[in-house]
Structure 1
Amino acid sequence: MHIAILGHGIEGKAAAEYFLAKGEEVTVCDSNQGLSLPKTLGAQLGPDYLKNLERFDLVVRSPGISPNIKELQPIRSKLTSATKIFFDACPCPVIGVTGTKGKGTTASLLHAILSQGEKRVFLGGNIGVPMLSFLNQVTKSDLVILELSSFQLMDLQKSPHVAVVLGITPDHLDYHKDFEEYVAAKQNIVRHQTKNDVAIIDVDSAESAACAKLTSARVREVSTTKSVRDGAFVKVDSFTLLDGNEGSIFGTRGNTRLLGEHNVKNILAAAAAAQTLGAPLQHIQSAVQNFKGLPHRLEHVARKEGVDFYNDSASTNPETTIAAIRSFKRPEIIILGGSGKGVSFASLAAEVVERENVKSVIVFGEMRQEISAAIEKAAIEERMQAIKAAAKKKEEPIPPHKLEIIQAESVAEAFMVAKMLAQEGDVVLLSPACASFDMFSNYIERGEMFRNFVLDT
């Protein structure tokens, strides 16, 4: 067969290697005219990289290329993806994890739990390990955990044996035509399940809770706001699993290394999935207590002169940044900015204005003016509401808390200003609420620059 690989990023490279190993003829189609490729690969590069695709027997899209773009419609019968290929060929049970935030942490914590058992456990997908890079190693006695993005799920026609659905909030609206398409893509993770499968669902989120009606699988619920009959929840600060009439406590809020209420939800989801797969309670308890979290996700970089620096570069949308801000009660200096994803900053702006411990916001990058304007508007709206409330009570309005907004010309300047403003007892938090593509190749590069800045200055 002659196979076209659309895109030569991490997943595209793995797909090319996968098919070359099978002896197939492979051509890479990429918009980068200057891409350097090995002689074993054919090339269709530059602005016309999506033309004449009908000449190929199979076309494998990378996640960053939507299956809905007009250039791909004439060859939809030949179009596939690494995710589709993996699900068709994987011989063992697959556990898929999706959601707007927390899927990488949840998948990794679940991997830490299950790896204590006798089965070999693979972890891949959107987390940075291409699933086709290890498909040939997988046997029927193994387990595979995949972090799955909306890009990977949107045309998937199979669902994992265990599907974990975390909260769904607006994101990637620069890729999807609207929020409804984004939600529908996420919901594909349960749409094709059978009665022999299991869905672990965050029922505190309306969009994820709706998945319960879309699946034929057993549904186990996860909540931080209420008790559930089958799943995981918090009871008097204790992490609780309930499977029928049998309940177990597997940890407490004060006995985990993961910060923030959003991570409580990740812990509950991972534990429910692990219990579903037969993991002993002691394995769940051990992993929950000792799991440090992932790089660039509320990662504690260092404490210098009484100031704690946190790298949360993986927060690329407002909702994840809100969760990060809520993780601290100490005075915060927040660094925001980057490239846009088509989402509103109104909720983030309101959070920043309402939280009295946020003392300074430093914005940089392509979205700095939009973020600044959103915060200024939120501050005016909050002040007007305070004045109206005070007038009704015939009282003087409470003065607003002092909040400084600084626009930096570069990311290096943003880091430097944050460090200069920080005082003993403060938290400096890089949680951009934006993608990184205006200045960096990815959020990892951005986070590493911040980490190096903190450690080297």
Structure 2
Amino acid sequence: MDLAGKRITVVGLAREGTALVRFLVARGADVTISDHKPATALQEYLSRIGELPVRLSVGANRVEDTIGADMVLVSPGVPRQLPCLVAAREHGVPVSSETRLFFELCPAPIVGVTGSNGKTTTTTLVGEILRAAGRQVFVGGNIGLPLIDQLDLITAESWVVLELSSFQLELMNASPHVAAITNVTPNHLDRHVTLEAYFDAKLNIVRHQKPDDVAVLNWDDRLSREAAAHSPGRVVFHSQTTGLDEGVCLDGQWIVARCNGDAQRVLSITDLKLLGRHNVENSLCATGLALGAGAGIEAVTSVLSCFTGVEHRLEPVAEQNGVRFYNDSIATSPERTIAALEALPGPLIVLMGGRSKHLSLEGLADVALRTCKAVIAFGEAGAELEQAISTAKRTRGVDAPLTRRVGPLDEALEEARRLAQPGDAVVLSPACTSFDAFVDFEERGQAFKRLVLDQA
């Protein structure tokens, strides 16, 4: 694709947008940056662009910046019904994204992972397994750095492993060679409005596959299982609960891969370093993906037996005065926090809060009553979380767990320290987004770790 001289408008200057701008300018495109934020709020990203020859249009997303372009590229966080994007489509201007452009230009086979929960761990596991199998691997997408900056380093012999969010998948017209939908539960309904629309975006990861591609799907999750009907590729299921004739499943305590009547033991789940049943599911999915990409059983076993997790996901931070501290900032939905509470040994003091996704908290409250010594609610969603726990306690006629509502994250940690006793675990597992106080969950997690370690 020749981009030289093309008038391209990038809508949304965030992490992905800055990488995209650098890439486009390097290839001779005439770039306009459109962002609704003022320049003063974009200094972090503008500093990454430096003195590149681009036109900056900030403070609003203007229609004239998109209808006069040869192409519009949209960052994932930008709503697709923005008036300037609607106008571009009405004027026949192609509206695409960094992810879609990357798929068009990438010479290497791509493994893609999406789902409501487990994406990051599964993506990271697959990248490590393929490296153990001797491949040159690039891991990115919704985690790490955008890979469009590294296209010059990627060859046909490389492998690319991408975590893909529903936002990144919305505009896709191509699917990865090997793809997975880990599970689908209500999420991002502030953007997608309905579960059906959210699921439809997720389906793009398998919808455009070819017959020789592979779709790895979760038999135990209804919507992931139903995605099989939408993939033209070969479907491989995984399951914790069902003994599959074909696919990856449990045989007693063993992860077993079955193909064409042959069964191979991978690893006993008692040898996994990852905590929780949800990580057994992630390990099953990663096994299916890695085998689908041609890795051997030995590489899978070697990685699963030593992999301890990813940053911000049940990440041990410190043990101080007999109290263990965990960073689970990536838990931006109730389901993720439930998985954390069920995985960690107690007694637990959990810090929940941030900006609400307006999802049901009933299931989370039930698990908190069963697993937690105390719940500390913070941030914008503090009142909503406190109310959910209090309602559950009244309904069941119980007094525990102790519930406290505070202001920002530092106050939540201060209250947790006051309540904690030797043998307790304090975990930041917010069940909400970070956008009331932080750029993303990573910034929130880093802040939590600094607060913990400052008291070491």
- Is the 2:34–2:65 Cα contact (8 Å) retained in structure 1? no
Equivalence for 1:448: 446
For the residues of structure 1 that align with 2:425 and 2:252, how far apart are their CA atoms? 28
Secondary structure, in 3 states, of the residue corresponding to 1:115? helix
Equivalence for 2:161: 145
Once the two structures are TM-superposed, the CA of residue 146 in structure 1 deviates from its matched residue by 0.6
Residue 287 (structure 2) aligned to one of 271, 274, 288: 271
Matched, 1:164 2:169: no
Residue 81 (structure 2) aligned to one of 68, 84, 88: 68
Equivalence for 2:26: 21
Once the two structures are TM-superposed, the CA of residue 92 in structure 1 deviates from its matched residue by 1.8
- Is the 1:239–1:253 Cα contact (8 Å) retained in structure 2? yes
Equivalence for 2:244: 228
**Where does the alignment leave 5 or more consecutive residues of structure 1 unmatched?**
384-399
Which digits, 9 at most, give the CA deviation of each residue in 1:121-165, with x for residues without a partner? 111100132121212221111111110000000121111110111
Equivalence for 1:56: 69
Matched, 1:105 2:121: yes
- Is the 2:393–2:399 Cα contact (8 Å) retained in structure 1? no
For the residues of structure 2 that align with 1:405 and 1:283, how far apart are their CA atoms? 46
Question: Where in structure 2 are the equivalents of 1:392-411 lying within 5 Å?
Answer: 400=398, 402-411=400-409
Residue 59 (structure 2) aligned to one of 15, 37, 46: 46
Cα distance change on mapping 1:47 and 1:68 into 2, 3 Å: closer
Partner letter of residue 448 of structure 1? Q
Question: Where in structure 2 are the equivalents of 1:201-280 lying within 5 Å?
Answer: 201-280=217-296
Equivalence for 1:379: 393
Equivalence for 1:386: none
For the residues of structure 2 that align with 1:118 and 1:332, how far apart are their CA atoms? 41
Equivalence for 1:364: 378
Equivalence for 1:31: 36
Secondary structure, in 3 states, of the residue corresponding to 1:32? coil
For the residues of structure 2 that align with 1:249 and 1:68, how far apart are their CA atoms? 49
Equivalence for 2:3: none
Which digits, 9 at most, give the CA deviation of each residue in 1:69-95, with x for residues without a partner? 343122124211011111111112111
For the residues of structure 2 that align with 1:70 and 1:245, how far apart are their CA atoms? 55
Partner letter of residue 436 of structure 1? S
Which digits, 9 at most, give the CA deviation of each residue in 1:308-367, with x for residues without a partner? 1110001001010000000024211110000122322222112212x1x31100000000
Partner letter of residue 100 of structure 2? K
For the residues of structure 2 that align with 1:65 and 1:103, how far apart are their CA atoms? 21
Deviates more, 1:161-170 or 1:64-73: 64-73
Partner letter of residue 324 of structure 1? A
Secondary structure, in 3 states, of the residue corresponding to 1:60? strand
Number of positions where the alignment pairs a residue of Structure 1 with one of Structure 2: 439
- Is the 1:307–1:427 Cα contact (8 Å) retained in structure 2? yes
Secondary structure, in 3 states, of the residue corresponding to 2:180? strand
- Is the 1:60–1:80 Cα contact (8 Å) retained in structure 2? yes
Once the two structures are TM-superposed, the CA of residue 50 in structure 1 deviates from its matched residue by 4.9
Equivalence for 1:432: 430
Equivalence for 1:415: 413
- Is the 2:13–2:33 Cα contact (8 Å) retained in structure 1? yes
**Where does the alignment leave 5 or more consecutive residues of structure 2 unmatched?**
1-5
- Is the 2:257–2:266 Cα contact (8 Å) retained in structure 1? yes
Which digits, 9 at most, give the CA deviation of each residue in 1:232-286, with x for residues without a partner? 1122221111122111221122212211111111111111111122212111111
Partner letter of residue 416 of structure 2? A
For the residues of structure 2 that align with 1:187 and 1:229, how far apart are their CA atoms? 25
Residue 307 (structure 1) aligned to one of 320, 323, 339: 323
Residue 359 (structure 2) aligned to one of 343, 347, 350: 343
- Is the 1:83–1:131 Cα contact (8 Å) retained in structure 2? no
Once the two structures are TM-superposed, the CA of residue 51 in structure 1 deviates from its matched residue by 4.6
For the residues of structure 2 that align with 1:143 and 1:31, how far apart are their CA atoms? 36
Matched, 1:9 2:14: yes
Secondary structure, in 3 states, of the residue corresponding to 1:254? helix
Equivalence for 1:392: none
Equivalence for 2:108: 92
Deviates more, 1:235-244 or 1:293-302: 235-244
Which digits, 9 at most, give the CA deviation of each residue in 1:23-64, with x for residues without a partner? 111111112212454341111100244554111111100000
Equivalence for 1:154: 170
Equivalence for 1:396: none
Q: Identity percentage over the alignment?
A: 38
Matched, 1:134 2:150: yes
Secondary structure, in 3 states, of the residue corresponding to 2:31? strand
For the residues of structure 1 that align with 2:149 and 2:118, how far apart are their CA atoms? 24
Q: CA RMSD in A?
A: 1.4
For the residues of structure 1 that align with 2:133 and 2:301, how far apart are their CA atoms? 13
For the residues of structure 1 that align with 2:316 and 2:64, how far apart are their CA atoms? 47
Partner letter of residue 284 of structure 1? V
For the residues of structure 1 that align with 2:435 and 2:16, how far apart are their CA atoms? 18
Deviates more, 1:239-248 or 1:17-26: 239-248
- Is the 2:354–2:436 Cα contact (8 Å) retained in structure 1? yes
- Is the 1:62–1:81 Cα contact (8 Å) retained in structure 2? yes
Matched, 1:177 2:190: no
Secondary structure, in 3 states, of the residue corresponding to 2:326? strand
For the residues of structure 1 that align with 2:100 and 2:396, how far apart are their CA atoms? 48
Matched, 1:292 2:308: yes
Question: TM-score, structure 2 length as denominator?
Answer: 0.93
- Is the 1:82–1:131 Cα contact (8 Å) retained in structure 2? no
Matched, 1:332 2:330: no
Partner letter of residue 406 of structure 1? R
